[in-house]
């Protein structure tokens, strides 16, 4: 390795124009070249270095110490080849030293100066830039949490297979969704939920071939490419093994967690000849599994597509109905079964379709929650109540409570519940309202119990536990709940007079509620026998159901004949044969 000399500069200067350069100027040039941040070297015809600045010397030392040198690590031979070719070359050179990786962008240019063939090389350290590019690449193509490829990777691979050499090879695309992942997240917290996704992706990825791809495409959704496949049975057997692998519990942060996946499968070319068609059809098949109980697998068929189109139509009409405010309220009374007085009313939301036909909530409530439209729907119900409060008072009485249902997903949404509480307070009569939420809103790790409940209490709003007994109840959880009312689900009340086991459960709930200071409301009273049993064998005072009255729409309210007037007949005296024969439980609904 040689240092540059005064003679080198003088020769170069003479060739360039025979201009005189003073000794002082040469010193300046020499120091400038030495201190340049970019590496600069000059090699002669034999490949020997005649000029090497400090940055280049450090780079050459780094290359000598590298554990994984650049593929073009024989610099001497490479330099001679470049000199012979006479063509400039730009290379990326990478060196790994321990845990550090260094990347240099080097430009080699053969030149003739003072009759000599020289190779002038300049090198810039681009390690940080390459690290940033690698980070961007991983962010774009690999999931940060699980390390799995992202959606665009599997899409590119599937598209490549379809647009390949035209062979008749077959492959399968499976859409996997973790069952009840929201409940796991709410109960255990997001940190454990994330850890579960990591462990679950490891199990799902076991026994995959090099040609298979498992991708995480969103929160708890995965896509699996099985390529190639020989038969549908081969796919079914492999996925069944995956299900069995997931049945073992996950032990995370001292918690034992059970998880399963619902899987829909589409096959190429049978179920589509594009990535989007295959993915969509696998998604449709997965939703069939979700609707039929979860935790299993379904292969796509044409009937599923028809169902998906029907669902899409409902979805579009629901969005339009909210924009056009085509929802209305019906009210069902909560009756004191001892005195027949109306204690309160429950606001039930109904949808008028394009033809003006009233739709039961079972056709749209779950979809509204899924699509994120339930908040708008709840505020529409409140607006209808406020607009019609005079008519409500004339019909049911000015002191009756007004119950509004809030979905568990809403109850855990601090932002929405704060806005909803403000809207309730702005009505001017917040103490008239009772918010009905299901049990899981209380016991999951959401904001409801600790942050939202005090807000509602602060403005005087009552709290009711809806559909009690069919959710995630536990005695320890119930002891921490400070609700005003428990509504026993109709499944416990139906034919209560002939079901001894349900009678025992009812007595237990009744005693527990009394101990906790909560009012008990029996839901779904439909027959004289059910009412008689509650009156004779329990201390329950309040009930709802079609036996007393069907839900009443606002336009049907008649202030001249209010429910709380003397015109109400003694319901307890009504014989069984006068019950509403036209009503069947299968057609009953409530929100």
How much is the pLDDT for 13? Answer: 42
With the CA atoms of 303, 308, 310 and 315 taken in that order, what torsion angle do they form, in degrees rounded to the nearest 10? Answer: 170
Report the pLDDT value the prediction gives residue 422, as an integer from 0 to 100.
Answer: 95
What pLDDT was estimated at residue 475? 58
pLDDT: which is higher, 253 or 359: 253
pLDDT reading at 587 higher than 60: no
| Residue carrying the six token digits 């006068």 | 578
**pLDDT-based confidence at residue 482 (cuts at 50, 70, 90):** confident
Helix axes 6-17, 23-35, angle to 10 degrees: 110
- Look at 54-63, 351-360, 420-429 and tell me which has the smallest mean pLDDT: 351-360
* Distance separating alpha carbons of residues 453 and 447, to the nearest angstrom: 9
Each domain of the chain, given as residue ranges in start order, spans 33-132, 142-300, 321-556
CATH topology (fold) of 321-556: TIM Barrel (3.20.20)
Place of tokens 């329990």: 538
Q: Which CATH class is domain 33-132?
A: alpha beta
pLDDT band at 311 (very low <50, low <70, confident <90, very high): confident
Q: Domain 142-300, what fold?
A: Alpha-Beta Plaits (3.30.70)
Residue 333: its pLDDT value, please? 92
* Identical fold, 33-132 and 321-556: no
% of the chain beyond a pLDDT of 70: 85
Residue 568: the pLDDT is 41
d(CA 401, CA 419): 21
pLDDT score for 75: 67
The whole-number average pLDDT for the span 165-173 is: 78
d(Cα 403, Cα 344) in Å, to the nearest integer?
7
**CA pair distance 413, 410, nearest whole angstrom:** 5
Is residue 209 scored above 80 in pLDDT? yes
Residue 485 or 408, more confident:
485
pLDDT digits over 320-336, tens only?
Answer: 888 887 888 889 999 99
Secondary structure class of 73 (helix, strand, coil): coil
Write a three-state SS string for 422-439: HHHHHCCCHHHEEEEEEC
Phi, psi of 462 (to 5 degrees): -80, 160
**Segment among 125-134, 144-153, 360-369 with least mean pLDDT:** 360-369
Confidence of residue 446 (pLDDT cuts 50, 70, 90): low
pLDDT, mean of residues 587-591:
33
Q: What is the 8-class DSSP label of residue 449?
A: I
- How many Cα atoms sit within 13 Å of 254 on the Cβ side? 0
Tell the burial category of 480 from Cβ atoms under 10 Å away from its Cβ (0-12, 13-18, 19+). exposed
* Residue of 330, 331, 336, 277 lying closest to 308 (CA atoms): 277
- Are 234 and 249 contacting, i.e. CB atoms less than 8 angstroms apart? no
**Angle between the 302-323 and 275-291 helix axes, to the nearest 10 degrees?**
80
Q: Which residues fall within 8 angstroms of residue 564, CB to CB, at 6 or more apart? A: 341, 342, 395, 396, 397, 400
Q: Is the pLDDT of residue 354 over 80?
A: no
pLDDT at 16 over 50: no
Burial, 483: exposed, middle or buried (Cβ in 10 Å; 0-12, 13-18, 19+)? buried
Give the model's pLDDT for residue 67: 63
pLDDT at 575 over 50: no
Global confidence as pTM: 0.54
For residue 583, name the pLDDT band (cuts at 50, 70, 90): very low
Average pLDDT, rounded, for the chain: 83
Decide which of 140 and 484 is more confident: 484
The confidence score (pLDDT) of residue 77 equals 77
The reported pLDDT for the residue numbered 199 is: 95
Grade residue 525 by pLDDT with cuts at 50, 70 and 90: very high
Alpha helices in 163-231 (DSSP H): 181-188, 190-204
pLDDT at residue 244 greater than cutoff 50: yes
- Sign of the alpha-carbon dihedral angle for 225, 231, 232, 238: negative
| Distance, CA of 24 to CA of 236 (rounded, Å) | 83
For residue 18, is pLDDT > 70? no
């Amino acid at each position: 390795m040689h240092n540059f000399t005064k003679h080198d500069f003088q020769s170069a200067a003479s060739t360039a124009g025979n201009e005189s350069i003073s000794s002082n100027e040469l010193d300046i040039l020499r120091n400038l070249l030495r201190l340049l941040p970019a590496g600069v070297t000059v090699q002669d015809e034999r490949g020997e270095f005649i000029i090497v600045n400090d940055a280049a010397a450090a780079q050459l030392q780094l290359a000598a110490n590298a554990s994984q040198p650049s593929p073009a690590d024989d610099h001497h031979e490479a330099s001679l080849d470049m000199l012979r070719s006479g063509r400039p070359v730009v290379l990326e050179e990478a060196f790994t030293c321990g845990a550090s990786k260094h990347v240099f962008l080097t430009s080699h240019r053969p030149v003739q100066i003072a009759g000599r063939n020289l190779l002038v090389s300049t090198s810039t350290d681009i390690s940080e830039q390459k690290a940033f590019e690698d980070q961007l690449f991983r962010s774009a193509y690999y999931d940060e949490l699980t390390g799995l490829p992202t959606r665009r990777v599997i899409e590119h691979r599937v598209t490549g297979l379809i647009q390949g050499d035209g062979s008749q090879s077959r492959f399968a695309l499976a859409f996997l969704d973790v069952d009840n992942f929201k409940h796991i997240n709410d109960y255990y917290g997001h940190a454990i939920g994330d850890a579960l996704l990591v462990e679950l992706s490891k199990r799902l990825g076991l026994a995959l071939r090099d040609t298979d791809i498992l991708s995480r495409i969103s929160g708890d959704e995965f896509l699996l490419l099985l390529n190639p496949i020989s038969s549908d049975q081969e796919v079914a057997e492999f996925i069944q093994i995956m299900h069995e692998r997931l049945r073992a519990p996950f032990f995370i942060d001292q918690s034992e967690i059970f998880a399963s996946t619902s899987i829909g499968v589409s096959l190429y070319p049978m179920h589509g000849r594009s990535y989007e068609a295959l993915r969509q059809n696998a998604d449709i098949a997965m939703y069939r599994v979700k609707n039929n109980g979860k935790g299993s697998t379904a292969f796509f068929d044409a009937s599923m597509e028809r169902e998906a189109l029907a669902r899409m139509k409902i979805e579009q009409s629901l969005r339009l109905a909210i924009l056009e405010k085509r929802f209305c309220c019906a009210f069902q009374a909560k009756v004191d079964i001892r005195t027949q007085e109306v204690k309160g009313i429950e606001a039930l939301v109904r949808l008028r379709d394009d033809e003006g036909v009233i739709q039961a909530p079972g056709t749209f409530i779950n979809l509204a929650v899924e699509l994120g439209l339930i908040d708008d729907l709840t505020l529409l119900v409140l607006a209808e109540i406020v607009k019609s409060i005079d008519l409500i008072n004339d019909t049911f009485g000015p002191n009756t409570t007004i119950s509004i249902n809030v979905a568990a997903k809403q109850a855990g949404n601090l932002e929405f519940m704060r806005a909803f509480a403000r809207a309730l307070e702005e009505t001017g009569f917040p103490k008239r309202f009772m918010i009905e939420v299901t049990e899981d809103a209380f016991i999951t790790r959401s904001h409801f119990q600790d942050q939202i409940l005090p807000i509602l209490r602060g403005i005087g709003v009552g709290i009711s536990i809806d559909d009690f007994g069919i959710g995630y109840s536990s005695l320890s959880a119930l002891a921490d709940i400070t609700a005003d009312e428990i509504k026993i689900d109709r499944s416990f009340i139906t034919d209560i007079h002939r079901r001894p086991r349900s009678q025992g459960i009812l007595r237990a709930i009744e005693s527990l509620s009394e101990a906790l200071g909560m009012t008990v409301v029996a839901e779904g009273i439909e027959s004289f026998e059910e009412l008689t049993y509650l009156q004779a064998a329990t201390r329950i005072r309040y009930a709802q159901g079609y036996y007393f009255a069907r839900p009443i729409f606002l336009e049907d309210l008649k202030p001249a004949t209010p429910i709380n007037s003397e015109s109400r007949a003694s319901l307890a005296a009504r014989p069984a044969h006068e019950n509403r024969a036209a009503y069947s439980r299968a057609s009953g609904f409530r929100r």
